[in-house]
Amino acid sequence: MVRIGDRRSRGYSRETFSPISNVTSSLTLQYDSINTVDELEQFCDEIADCKQIGFDTEFVSEETYRPQLCLIQVAAGDRLAIIDPEYVEDTTSFWNLLTEPGRTVIAHAAREECRFCYRFTGKPISGLFDTQLAAGFVGMEYPASLGNLVQRMVNKTLPKGETRTNWGRRPLSEDQITYALNDVVDLSKMHDKLESMVIDLNRQDWLTEETGVFQQKVIDAETRENWRRVSGSSGLNPRQLETVRQIWLWRENRAKSIDRLPRRVLRDDLIVELAKRGSTDQNKIKNIRGMERRGFNDHYADIANAIQIALETSDADLPRRPRGSRRVVSPMLSQFLSTAIACISRQQKLAPPIVGNADDVRELMGYELDRQNGDQVPSLLKGWRGDIVGKTFRQLLAGDLAIRVANVKETQPLEFIEP
C-alpha cells in the first residue's frame, strides 16, 4: 500500500508509479505526495510559473449535500502530485492558483472541478481548457469520456479497475494512485493536439465563449434557487408552485445542516403532494404516505410553517408556470430542423450535441414564429451558434434557402442552396 494521506507517511515525499501504456515498459514516474497545508502552499509556489497546469479530482457524492473532495491530481511541467484533502485541511491555495490569469488550466469534463473552484474561491477557473469541450469543437465525439479521448489522441488505454472505488477511504492503494495519476499525465499532450486543431479551424473564440458559458452555468447552479427542477411540479398552479418553493428552501437548509443529499431529506414526489394538498395541519401532513417515517417527527412543524408562508404570499409575488409551447408547431418541421442541426454541424466539423438539440430547435421556432414580450433570445441565435445555425434557420423559415440531396453516398448527403 502507498500510504497517501496517512499521518505516519513521510509528508511531502517523492513516490513513483508506472504509467499505463499499450507498450510493455519498465518506465516509472515520480510524483509528490502532499498531505499538509504547508506542503501544499510550497508546491503551489513551485509551480506558479508553469504555463500549463493539468489537474483532475476524485470525489464521492452519493450521500453528502455537496460532493466530497477526496483527491486532487496535478501535472505541471515535469511535476506530478497527489494532494490529499483528507489531511490537507484547507486546499484553498491550490484553487486560488487556478483563478490567477496568465496560464492554461487543462481538465477533462470539468464541471465538478469548476464547482470545487467556485466553492473554495468564489471565482471561475482562469484560462480553462476543457479537453472534452475542445474535442466537440473539432468534430470528435461529444461528450467523449477521458478514456476514449486518450485512446484516440495518445494511443493509450487507461485502467478501469478503480472506476467505482471509494475514494474516501484511507490508505489509498498503489492501484488507486496509478489510476488517479493516469488521468492527468497526458492532459498536456492532448491540449497541444486539440489546441492546434482548434486553431486550424479558427475556433479559438468559439471555444473561449463556450468555456465561459459552461463555467457560468456551474456558478448559476450553485447560486440560484433550483426549486423548479423538483420532479412533477410542472403542472402546478402558482400557489402550489410557491409551496414547492418554500418546502424546497426548507429541504435545502436541512440538507446542508446535516450534510445529506436533499432528496434523502425529503423526496420530490412528497414535496409535490404536500403542495397539492396545501394543508398546514400536521396530522394531515403526517398521514401522507411516506411522511410517517420516524425521521420527520421533529420536522412536521417546520414543513407546516413552510406551507403557511406559501399560503400567505400575495398573488402578485407568486411564481408563474414557465411558458410552454405557445402554438402547435409542425412536428415535421421541428424534426427537419433537428436533422438540419446534425447536417450543419458535421459540415462544420462540430459534434452535433455541442450545437443544440430538439428543445433548442423548438425554442427557436417559438421565438421566430410567435414571439412575445419578454422572450429571451434563444441559444441557437446567440454567439457562434447564431453564426452557423441561427442565420441558416432563419433563412430556411423565411423561404430564402432550400435543401437538396447533393450526394446520396455521403454520410451527410444534404446541402442548403438558394432557391
Q: How many domains does the chain have?
A: 3
297 occurs within a structural domain: yes
Q: Three-state DSSP class for 100?
A: coil
| 300 and 409 co-located in one domain | no
231 occurs within a structural domain: yes
212 occurs within a structural domain: yes
| 171 and 253 co-located in one domain | no
Of 199, 223, 247, which residue constitutes the final position of a domain?
A: 223
| 355 and 245 co-located in one domain | no
Domain at 24, CATH number: 3.30.420.10
Q: For residue 2, name the pLDDT band (cuts at 50, 70, 90).
A: very low
* Res 324: pLDDT: 52
Of 207, 223, 239, which residue constitutes the final position of a domain?
A: 223
What's the rounded mean pLDDT across residues 76-82?
A: 95
* Res 322: pLDDT: 65
| 143 and 234 co-located in one domain | no
| 78 and 153 co-located in one domain | yes
253 occurs within a structural domain: yes
162-191, pLDDT tens digit by residue?
A: 777 889 999 999 889 999 999 999 999 999
Please state the pTM of the whole predicted model: 0.87
| 205 and 255 co-located in one domain | no
CA distance 84 to 234: 42
Q: For residue 320, name the pLDDT band (cuts at 50, 70, 90).
A: confident
| 81 and 218 co-located in one domain | yes
Q: For residue 68, name the pLDDT band (cuts at 50, 70, 90).
A: very high
Q: For residue 133, name the pLDDT band (cuts at 50, 70, 90).
A: very high
| 179 and 283 co-located in one domain | no
* Res 19: pLDDT: 74
Q: pLDDT at residue 1 above 70?
A: no
Q: pLDDT at residue 27 above 90?
A: no
1 occurs within a structural domain: no
Which is more confident, 362 or 71? 71
Cell of 178: 496509478
Domain at 281, CATH number: 1.10.150.80
- What does residue 14 show for φ and ψ, rounded to 5 degrees? -105, 120
91-121 burial by CB neighbour count: b if 16+ within 10 A, else e?
A: bebbbebbbeeebbbbbbbbebbbbbbbebb
What's the rounded mean pLDDT across residues 109-131?
A: 98
CA distance 276 to 288: 11
For all residues of the chain together, what is the average pLDDT? 89
What's the rounded mean pLDDT across residues 372-393?
A: 89
* Res 3: pLDDT: 38
Alpha helices (H) along 155-261: 174-182, 187-200, 204-223, 238-258
323 occurs within a structural domain: no
| 102 and 241 co-located in one domain | no
| 236 and 219 co-located in one domain | no
What's the rounded mean pLDDT across residues 145-158?
A: 94
| 18 and 76 co-located in one domain | yes
- Could you tell me if 279 and 298 are in contact, meaning their C-beta atoms sit under 8 angstroms apart? no
* Res 335: pLDDT: 84
Residue with cell 493516469: 182
Of 172, 205, 223, which residue constitutes the final position of a domain?
A: 223
Which is more confident, 61 or 208? 208
Q: pLDDT at residue 26 above 80?
A: no
**For the chain, percent of residues with pLDDT exceeding 90:** 67
202 occurs within a structural domain: yes
| 136 and 48 co-located in one domain | yes
398: domain range? 331-417
Burial class (CB in 10 A: 0-12, 13-18, 19+), 62: exposed
6 occurs within a structural domain: no
